[in-house]
Amino acid sequence: MKKENSRRSFLKNISLATFSALALSGCNTEVFDEFLQKNFRTLSKKEKDKIIKNLELKYKEKYGKEFHVSDKPAMEGTLFGYALDLSRCVGCRKCVYACVKENNQSREPQIHWIEVLQMEKEKGIDFADSNVQYNPEKVPEKGHFYVPVQCQQCRNPQCVTVCPVKATWQEPDGIVVVDYNWCIGCRYCMAACPYGARHFNWGEPTVPTEEINTEMHYLGNRPRKKGVVEKCTFCIQRTREGKYPACVEICPVGARKFGNLLDPESEIRYILENKRVLVLKQELNTQPKFYYFFGI
């Protein structure tokens, strides 16, 4: 009994000491609040509103601009799907940089959510023999085709299964998201993802003030911090407002298609029903909602 008591008092004392140390070091309550913040999925409406208001203020202070951070939930009756026309993509990488800009990816150290792989027509889809560093004068290069890869928004996402703290999950509209405040940076998800779709902030991310996108979603393109994982969210801040993702809008050859898989009239369903479609690494049973097709 005595022993229990002393352990309890020890714990009590140490937490007291930590708190007072933190308080003494000039931390304001905001830091406490952030540290003690619950997982996004367990927050009440009121808590979310407060957190978002604080975030908007914080960003304004940092960047000197008005920000809008949304926490808009999934629309009922939507399951997002994506299709990319392999017969059209010319490998120009416009999508890569449109994504960087739309989603406030770190410029230094560099993070790209989309990677465009150049492959040889003779060999077909072969990841082992693909090249992301291609850099000729003009694309497409003879005898080659291009496979842009980003998060495949798996129906059976292994990144979610392995996360030890449930900081990443699949939303009702099928988007796999990350709570950047809950992520502990263990990078299990990166090891589990077969598509290399997750990226880790090894350093403090930087985004130039004049280029920052002020339309944000809490689970999407709001600024991340060092030590957390991020990935493509189908432009959650755009698609939940009814807009196309940024990569769809920039692609100069119209290779990228997006829509609601539950709607039989959608572009995406038309593709699934009328074109030859494949998913990457089908044998792994990740069941992507990102399809590749041949439009020709």
Partner 1 sequence: MKDKFYVNIKIPVILMTLFIFLIFSCNNKETENAAKAEKDSTKPEIIKTQKVEEYAVEAPPFSDGIYPCTDCHANIVANPERRVLTEWHEDISAIFNHDSENRWCLDCHDLKNRDYLKLASGKLLDFKESYKLCGQCHGEKLRDWKVGVHGKRTGNWNGKKEYLLCVHCHNPHSPKFNELTPLPPPMRPEDIK
Binding site for ligand SF4 (CB under 6 A): 89-95, 116, 146, 148, 151-154, 157-159, 176, 193, 195, 197-198, 231, 250-251, 253, 255-256, 286
Select 27 or 191, whichever has its Cβ closest to ligand SF4: 191
Choose which of 2, 26, 135, 210 interacts with partner 1 (CB under 8 A).
135
Which listed option, partner 1, ligand SF4, none, makes contact with residue 201 (CB within 5 to 8 Å by class)?
A: none
Taking residue 217's Cβ as centre, other Cβ atoms within 10 Å add up to: 23
Minimum CB–partner distance for residue 203 and ligand SF4 (Å): 21
- Which residue from 58, 112, 155, 187 is in contact with partner 1, where contact means CB under 8 A? 112
101 touching partner 1, by CB under 8 A: no
Reference 91, options 120, 71, 49; nearest CA is 120
Q: Shortest distance, CB of residue 58 to partner 1, whole angstroms?
A: 26
Q: Which is nearer to partner 1, 71 or 115 (CB)?
A: 115
Q: Kindly state whether residue 249 participates in binding partner 1, applying the rule CB under 8 A.
A: yes
What sign for the dihedral angle of Cα 102, 104, 109, 115? Answer: negative
Q: Which stretch binds partner 1 (CB under 8 A): 16-24, 42-50, 69-77, 182-190?
A: 69-77
127 binds, among partner 1, ligand SF4, none (CB under 5 to 8 A by kind): none
The CA distance from 147 to 150, in Å, is 10
Q: How far is CA 7 from the centre of its chain?
A: 43
Closest C-alpha among 64, 101, 91, 131 to residue 213? 101
| Segment holding 96, helix H or strand E | helix 94-102
Between 20 and 274, name the residue whose CB sits nearer to partner 1: 274
| Buried-state track 80-114, b at ≥16 Cβ within 10 A, e below 16 | bbbbbbbebbbbbbebbbbbbbbbbbbeeeebbbb
